[in-house]
Structure 1
Amino acid sequence: MKFLSLLIFSIASIGLYAQKIELPVDTMVVTNHSVTINGKNINYTAQTGTQPVWDEAGKPVASLFYTYYKRSDIKNTENRPLVISFNGGPGSASVWMHIAYTGPRVLKIDDEGFPVQPYGLKENPYSILDVADIVYVNPVNTGYSRLIEKEDEKADRKDFFGVQADIKYLAGWLNTFVTRKNRWLSPKYLIGESYGTTRVSGLALELQNSQWMYLNGVILVSPTEMGVNREGPVEIANRLPYFAAAAWYHKKLPSALQNKDLEELLAEAEEFTINTVLPALIKGGFTSEEKKQEIASKMAYYSGIEEKVFLQNNLDVPFRYFWKELMRESGGYTIGRLDSRYLGIDAKVAGDSPDYNAELTSWLHSFTPAINYYLQEELKFKTDIKYNMFGPVHPWDRSGDNTGENLRQAMAQNPNLDVLVQSGYFDGATTYFNAKYTMWQLDPSGKMRDRLSFKGYRSGHMMYLRSEDLKNANEDIRDFIENSLPKAGDSAKY
């Protein structure tokens, strides 16, 4: 009998664990909290839950997980800004800015952004929750968000995993969210990081044209190309200011440059890039050998790597080679791609590119335990679904990426729409100078240049991981929101 009981228990256990783990399609958990921001106590609610994506027949085809922070002491939200936050990838959860940048809780990390144990979170004294409510949205297959797939019905992946599909379904989802939360009267802002900048730039126009929802601002954190063409000579030349920044950080420049303040150095490197390097690259093989030698020497001067490397590569030194080469003779370390302050160790000092991205493994070290603990234990959202830091969204259809032009058109149509660009100087993936270049190209007429602004920080892709930049970057967003809100009685007109 004892054996039979154990057998029955074992069979029941197998059946229990064989059940498919499914996320509730439409659910919400509310918890109450407080945080001290800039010396002032702020009471707020955190709503964590899932909300459906509807198809044209009104059936749920996916469910998106979100976290929505709302101040408790403000009942009338018609003048209360709402910030809608996305990360990138594509395929990345909205975790990075959530628990390291704008939200009320941030990672326990050191002042430069490196992991410390025990892992966890602490109050964010610089969160923008004092001036705006915030919702962090996880697109399909990121975080806890999932497609809804029944045995006889399979969701069509092409409706979700591509530049245009992503923008279209998220715009519809945001319409539902804003309606449910009664935020139609609120000033609205989109913030996106990395690929999230492609997403929010496209959404700015899609929300206007398809949902009739008009924004007050778009914040681009470490922006991607957004469909702005910079191939060929422009792409090659634009690398140099970043090379200079990374070399300055690692003290690989000649003393005449190393002793300069970073921003003074970068202004000099930018001027050389625009006025000397780019014209030479445009002429290609017809640049004289004497001129090529002169430029290679100066590029070496600003980058910390040898002149012969530039000559051997026809002035076209790839990013990956730079990450491997800069510290080759200084301990044999590699430098990080997304944040070149981080060092890595390869199997061999020789080679043309690093074995891995040193910064990303460091970040996952801190973020993964923190977000899993925080959502389940502090925000009380209980599920056995795996939280996807990076989810399966590939192949991703990148065709038709015209999102930079979409943003320009949204701005042209909406006189109240301003744009802030934020970049870290040591980001080697979406470099600060490429971010500037994208911003310059967004408005070829120059008629909206006073509505476009740029802020740089002494860190990398996620500039907010550095304590000083966490403070400064949040303050810049706070100022942007306050300055972009129309004065009472101001009309939206040119």
Structure 2
Amino acid sequence: MKKIYPLLIVFAIFPLIAEAQKVEIPIDTTITTNHTTIIKGKTISYKAIVGFQPVWNKERKPIASLSYTYYKRTDIKNDENRPLLISFNGGPGSASVWMHIAYTGPRILKIDDEGFPVQPYGIKTNPNSVLDVVDIVYVNPVNTGYSRMIPGEDGKMPEKKLFFGVNEDVKYLASWINTFVTRNNRWRSPKYLIGESYGTTRVSGLALELQNQHWMYLNGVILVSPTEIGFKFAGPVEVANRLPYFTAAAWYHKMLPAELQNKDLLEILPEVEEYTINTILPATIKSGYLEASKKEEIITKMAYYSGLSKKTIRQHNLEVPKSYFWKDLLRNKDGYTIGRLDSRYKGMDIKEAGDTPDYNSELTSWLHAFTPAINYYYSQELKFKTDIKYNMFGPVKPWDRKKDNFTGENLRSAMAMNANLHTMIQSGYYDGATTYFNAKYVMWQLNANGKLSDRLSFKGYRSGHMMYLRNEDLIQANEDIRVFIAKSSANINKGSKY
């Protein structure tokens, strides 16, 4: 059972409420509570620190304050080799709430075994948390969670361009991490970054930035539901790569022919992947110059693998948009749409006609459960009480995408220069936004010279973008992190060398 002990530490530079009707952002504050939990059948003691740590400008003046939650195991006497996991979500305007209270943290929200919201809302023990093997800090970039920009002495806010861009995001977060590691005496620790969705772009860039600008060498990077991380595959490659995802989602909803439907998903996907690479890709490249008989043969096969009609595929010239797929797959069955980030979820549009769903059914379901859970958790269990709004999604536009195409190259360069650095990719088969096959493609591009195979791995799960919401995948995905940490930290005492 989890226990909450009395509040131990509160250091505040700025009060949360300086005067009536005015809410101030803490700049350098920590609130610590002590807890126990049970992970994998063993009792674990830990402390939870809800903190605010500043971002400084060149004059060492605070220009932003980032909120974070740091979990540190307290029942280990010698922790010099204890790993540290630094966790980011994506967006880029998303808080760290998702992986914090649904994946790796010691407390997770109450949902059913498939990830759907249940009431009353709340929090429960996570018996699968990786806190048994690694300390974890969940970081909220500017304007996410409780993190905000700080006005200067003249009362003016800093320029948004200092934070809201691919390179700016990586630069200030790397400096922030340096400060955190120094303050918490974690320089000796094996260090890991985990990012989800746009967070994979973020941690890929951070791997090289930390290494080159802060001389902080990582042991591992975990990419959860990765974006393209700069490896551009628009055009024929992106179009062709849709098919394996179409197959997975159609299989889940029992929309495939009986011959396929009666097989297990993992029996089908390798066959579809091969067909995608060897047939769909060259056909998409050839486009309108494809022989009519060959095109009709491919249309028939695509319908067989996707659950879509031949007419639909023909009308789209083999290029069925994913948004149309979400709208059309079940149109003539029960009239529901399917989710973008997790296609197991159904939605209901006002009209069954149309080209795209009215809303993201999975996101609505997630916010249903996450928002009350995180607000309750901070105020009641972690003892952080405030009138600051917790931004599940914060305003970060316009986001500067310059050099977005370098983050994957940055990760590849970091791995080339650091023989201890490993990367693991985790992806859900039913994710229609950052598909599992695109994730495999990203892994292949990272390994362009073929020499990183022993330090790259892919793990797939029978769920969507946040694969850990399904209990069976929550168990397996956390176990995969444990194995990854053990493998990537083995033999590090023998030196970083080829």
TM-score, scaled relative to structure 1: 0.96
CA deviation after TM superposition for structure 1 residue 22, in Å: 1.2
Once the two structures are superposed, the pairs formed by residues 7-86 of structure 1 within 5 Å of their partners are: 19-86=21-88
Residue of structure 1 equivalent to 2:178: 175
Deviation at 1:351, TM superposition (A): 0.2
Indicate whether 1:346 and 2:343 are aligned.
Answer: no
Q: Which runs of 5+ in 2 are unaligned?
A: 1-16
Deviation at 1:77, TM superposition (A): 2.6
Aligned equivalent of 2:137: 135
Cα 1:305/1:463, change in 2 over 3 Å: same
Q: 1:313 aligns with which of 306, 313, 316?
A: 316
User: 1:263 corresponds to which letter in structure 2?
Assistant: L
Structure 2 residue 432 is matched with structure 1 residue 428: yes
Give yes or no for contact 2:93–2:144 (8 Å, CA) kept in 1.
yes
Within-5 A mapping of 1:187-198: 187-198=190-201
Q: Pairwise mapping of residues 61-460 of structure 1 onto structure 2 (< 5 A)?
A: 61-150=63-152, 152-401=155-404, 402-460=406-464
Provide the secondary structure at the position in 2 that maps to 1:489: helix
Tell me the SS of whatever aligns to 1:96.
helix
User: Contact 1:77/1:183 (CA < 8 Å) preserved in 2?
Assistant: no
Cα distance in structure 2, aligned partners of 1:154 and 1:94: 24
1:9 counterpart residue number: none
Q: Relative to structure 1, is the Cα distance of residues 388 and 488 closer, same or farther in structure 2, using a 3 angstrom cutoff?
A: closer
Q: Is the 8 A contact 1:416 1:486 kept in 2?
A: no
Equivalent position SS for 1:301:
helix
Q: What SS class does the counterpart of residue 176 from structure 2 fall into?
A: helix
1:243-265 deviations in Å (ceiling 9; x for gaps): 00000000000000001110111
For residue 148 of structure 1, what is the amino acid of its counterpart? I
Cα separation, partners in 2 of 1:299 and 1:384, compared to 1, 3 Å:
same
Whole-angstrom CA distance in 2 between matches of 1:51 and 1:89: 21
Indicate the SS of the match to 2:115. coil
Q: Partners in 1 of 2:493 and 2:127 — Cα distance?
A: 33
The residue identity in structure 1 corresponding to 2:453 is: R
Count of paired positions: 480
Amino acid at match of 1:484: S
Letter in 2 for 1:49: G
CA distance in 1, matches of 2:258, 2:26: 60
Deviation at 1:281, TM superposition (A): 1.0
Structure 1 residue 18: deviation in Å? Answer: 6.4
In 2, the alpha carbon distance for the partners of 1:16 and 1:134 equals 31
**Gap change, CA 1:17 and 1:360, over 3 Å in 2:** farther
Q: Summarize deviations over 1:434-466 as a string: whole Å, max 9, x none.
A: 000011011210111111000000000000000
Question: C-alpha displacement at 1:282, in angstroms?
Answer: 1.3
CA distance in 2 between counterparts of 1:464 and 1:164 reads: 29
Aligned to 1:466: 470
CA drift of 1:20 comes to: 2.8
Per-residue deviation, 1:311: 1.1
Q: Which runs of no fewer than 5 residues in structure 1 stay unpaired?
A: 1-14
Residue 488 of structure 1 and its aligned partner are, at CA, apart by 5.9
Q: Distance in 2 between matches of 1:181 and 1:103?
A: 19
| Mean CA deviation greater in 70-79 or 215-224 | 70-79
Q: Which moved more, 1:276-285 or 1:454-463?
A: 276-285
